[in-house]
Structure 1
């Protein structure tokens, strides 16, 4: 009997359900989705009340944050659901392969969150009478965003289209933040679905930047192909270049009211130099650690790029609000993984 006790192997301790759920949703990364929503919302709110001394935080914003949070988290859950067999071999500690959350429950949770996210986005447009110029637009954008999330996780993740679908998710997340604007662009301006060229350029720049980040990270777990890393870095640069082109499309909802074009470009250059240094190291020495550090820096930089646009359009207070999202993001990374 004593021999049996000595040979008995200790069982792995499962995470409590709440912690397993937070890990499954990649909670630290959720704040990058919030930064998109806040930046988009602040920009259109400032446009609606250019002469006001502040921006309100109405229920519409809460609805948009809830919608983005649920759809983003659903994407993370679906990612692990469809990767559960691979994770069982390579990352058995993750919630689904470890048994902390069943695959069936994860799938139900994911689609429940997607439905909830779309309903929150639709609800936001009807909280107050005439609170949004196009009250149903948020719901439509949320549905398109959800379709991109599902397509990426269920079908396209391992295809050449994957980075572009991931970039599309960020593109539509920015547009979701702008969707419940009280005022639309001038009728004389070129626009699509109520978004003018500046709004689309902002969302497109962030989207293309994420295409580059995703391309850069395609094989981060092993020694990466330098050509793929260079392509990813160039795509990130192209996305930043689109943001730099914003002064050229004025007048626009995304009008640079608090910074001159040269000041705005200077901020983008300073932010990009830090990332460029990481990228050069990863390209010249494409070991997994160098690539992963670059990807983490690129994800962190996303919040700063959102804040830079907000600073130029709305002023310091609103930009600092977005940068402050780094505090919970970095704090939570100490307790749970984010990739």
Structure 2
């Protein structure tokens, strides 16, 4: 490739990267980080770990998309000839090498935070490989794809861990009172973190699975009625998985957090229902709104009682970033397709 890329090549590359979905990756990593702050650390502001984990998540996401297009290039030549590789806009080796560089960069960024963050990044990369290998072979490949999203939350939470988290967690479990950072991490904290993380990640995973089923079957001439109903039920799950019992001591804020997602899902199932690419793009844009459901009570839980909420910028960002990510994702869908 020589010279500057033409606009058509630039747009094709952005489409290969699935650039409209990048804001949702940021939102996922951000929520994971804030959840980790609440349960594993005592953070009053964003530190260098936060941008590093976001960079790691974006690099791994872009690497997976490029690797997916490289792996599917022969299938795309028949079914998606408008994509960059079958259209001859780029050489396949370019995508493969760029994917490898991005993957290495993502793991390097994760490793610079701490070992658990690196472990999460490696797990995401393995899941990307599994999905890339299986996604044209079985509908169950949606599970590793959804687990990649769950891995972003885990990676964000790991980035918020203090350097001595493991030592103090082990001491706490042994009943030792020795601690060096002032962190109080009990088995109850661990169970709460696991429960809240699982409900949120499960809601996102099943939403993505429902999205994938909707894309698969609604593009057919006569979609199976049972599969359509199943996909609808899976899309609705976040309304139940993260309802007022997500943080039972803050039921009203959680219910408030449900409103934007419920409105957008209703629009996606009606106004944006067809054509199918428009429907799928709308559903993809809604992923940060699932984060917003849990971010509202989480921010209130983190708020210092002696300060006004607007005086705590990290908490303001906690509730605004998912909304900004949603809006930015929709805006970027005008630049390149999300699928």
TM-score computed with the length of structure 2 as normaliser: 0.78
Pick the aligned partner of 2:269 from 263, 279, 282.
279
Tell me, in whole angstroms, the C-alpha distance in 2 between the residues paired with 1:297 and 1:153.
Answer: 23
Q: Does 1:34 align with 2:26?
A: yes
Q: 1:214 and 1:42, CA in 2 relative to 1: closer, same or farther beyond 3 A?
A: same
Tell me, in whole angstroms, the C-alpha distance in 1 between the residues paired with 2:298 and 2:17.
Answer: 32
Alpha-carbon distance, 1:143 to partner:
0.7
Q: What is the aligned partner in structure 1 of residue 232 from structure 2?
A: 233
Q: What is the aligned partner in structure 2 of residue 336 from structure 1?
A: 336
Pick the aligned partner of 2:83 from 78, 90, 94.
94
Q: What is the aligned partner in structure 1 of residue 309 from structure 2?
A: none
Tell me, in whole angstroms, the C-alpha distance in 2 between the residues paired with 1:271 and 1:288.
Answer: 19
Q: Does 1:322 align with 2:322?
A: yes
Q: What is the aligned partner in structure 2 of residue 214 from structure 1?
A: 212
Pick the aligned partner of 1:177 from 149, 156, 164.
156
Tell me, in whole angstroms, the C-alpha distance in 1 between the residues paired with 2:282 and 2:82.
Answer: 25
Tell me, in whole angstroms, the C-alpha distance in 2 between the residues paired with 1:110 and 1:149.
Answer: 11
Tell me, in whole angstroms, the C-alpha distance in 2 between the residues paired with 1:263 and 1:156.
Answer: 38
- Cα deviation code 1:181-213 (max 9, x no counterpart): 235683222748x95322222222222222222
Q: 1:59 and 1:47, CA in 2 relative to 1: closer, same or farther beyond 3 A?
A: same
Q: Secondary structure at the match of 1:96?
A: coil
Alpha-carbon distance, 1:100 to partner:
1.8
Pick the aligned partner of 1:85 from 74, 80, 83.
74
Q: 2:52, 2:110 within 8 Å by CA — same for their partners in 1? A: yes
Q: 1:208 and 1:190, CA in 2 relative to 1: closer, same or farther beyond 3 A?
A: farther
Q: What is the aligned partner in structure 2 of residue 253 from structure 1?
A: none
Tell me, in whole angstroms, the C-alpha distance in 1 between the residues paired with 2:90 and 2:193.
Answer: 41
- Structure 1 unaligned segments of length 5 or more: list them: 1-12, 126-135, 249-255
Alpha-carbon distance, 1:122 to partner:
1.3
Tell me, in whole angstroms, the C-alpha distance in 2 between the residues paired with 1:156 and 1:90.
Answer: 15
Q: 1:275, 1:294 within 8 Å by CA — same for their partners in 2? A: no
**Structure 2 counterparts to residues 152-301 of structure 1, below 5 A:** 152-182=131-161, 186-189=185-188, 191=190, 195-223=193-221, 224-244=223-243, 245-248=245-248, 260-269=250-259, 271-276=261-266, 278-279=268-269, 289=275, 291-301=276-286
- Structure 2 unaligned segments of length 5 or more: list them: 166-183, 300-314
Q: 1:27, 1:338 within 8 Å by CA — same for their partners in 2? A: yes
Q: 2:217, 2:228 within 8 Å by CA — same for their partners in 1? A: no
Tell me, in whole angstroms, the C-alpha distance in 1 between the residues paired with 2:20 and 2:230.
Answer: 27
- Cα deviation code 1:115-170 (max 9, x no counterpart): 22122111122xxxxxxxxxx11111111111111111123443031121221111
Alpha-carbon distance, 1:21 to partner:
2.9
Q: What is the aligned partner in structure 2 of residue 133 from structure 1?
A: none
Alpha-carbon distance, 1:15 to partner:
4.7
Q: Does 1:104 align with 2:83?
A: no
Question: 4+ residue runs of structure 1 moved beyond 6 angstroms?
Answer: none
- Cα deviation code 1:242-271 (max 9, x no counterpart): 2224125xxxxxxx6xxx313412431552
TM-score computed with the length of structure 1 as normaliser: 0.78
Q: 1:247, 1:261 within 8 Å by CA — same for their partners in 2? A: yes
Tell me, in whole angstroms, the C-alpha distance in 1 between the residues paired with 2:260 and 2:21.
Answer: 23
Structure number with the bigger relative contact order (C-alpha 8 A, sep ≥ 6) is 2
